[in-house]
């Protein structure tokens, strides 16, 4: 999937507005990471330092303190992520459906093209 859902008033939300610039960027990058890798909002602790250029543990502490992140075994869960974004299961089901629709269209198109090709084998018989 190529996009995430963010409310157009996201920067003004009471949990977002007081964040430092670094914590804001980490939060936004984490949402994009979760969406890209279909993690259902889970961010592995080992990936945190790679999400923003000048990562600081204090950014994570801010996000936990305001309730945007919840500590889990091995990382953090983005609070309410699935309220705003599709789950892995939903994305995979949608992708499968789109793929099947595309294949059906290709089969239909291919068959139409085959029907338009003249059968030259009958002309070759003596």
Q: Answer whether residue 5 is part of any domain.
A: no
Q: Answer whether residue 35 is part of any domain.
A: yes
pLDDT given at position 124: 63
Q: Answer whether residue 123 is part of any domain.
A: no
- What helix, strand, coil percent values describe the chain, rounded to 5? 55, 10, 40
Give pLDDT tens digits for 56-73: 999 999 999 999 999 999
- State whether 94 and 64 are in the same domain: no
Give pLDDT tens digits for 1-37: 568 889 899 999 999 999 999 999 999 999 999 999 9
* Confidence tier at 121 by pLDDT (50, 70, 90): low
User: On the CB side of 121, how many CA atoms lie within 13 Å of its CA?
Assistant: 1
- State whether 29 and 14 are in the same domain: yes
pTM: 0.77
- State whether 18 and 38 are in the same domain: yes
- State whether 64 and 16 are in the same domain: yes
Domain enclosing residue 61, as ranges? 10-84
Domain count, the chain: 2
């Amino acid at each position: 999937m190529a996009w995430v859902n963010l409310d157009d008033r996201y920067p003004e939300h009471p949990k977002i507005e007081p964040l430092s610039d670094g914590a804001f960027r980490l939060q936004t990058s984490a949402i994009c990471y979760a969406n890209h890798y279909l993690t259902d909002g889970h961010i592995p602790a080992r990936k945190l330092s790679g999400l923003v250029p000048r990562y600081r543990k204090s950014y994570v502490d801010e996000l936990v303190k305001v309730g945007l992140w919840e500590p889990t075994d091995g990382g953090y869960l983005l609070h309410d992520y699935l309220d705003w974004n599709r789950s892995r299961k939903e994305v995979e089901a949608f992708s499968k459906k789109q793929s099947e629709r595309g294949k059906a269209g290709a089969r239909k198109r291919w068959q139409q093209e085959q029907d338009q090709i003249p059968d030259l084998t009958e002309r070759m018989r003596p």
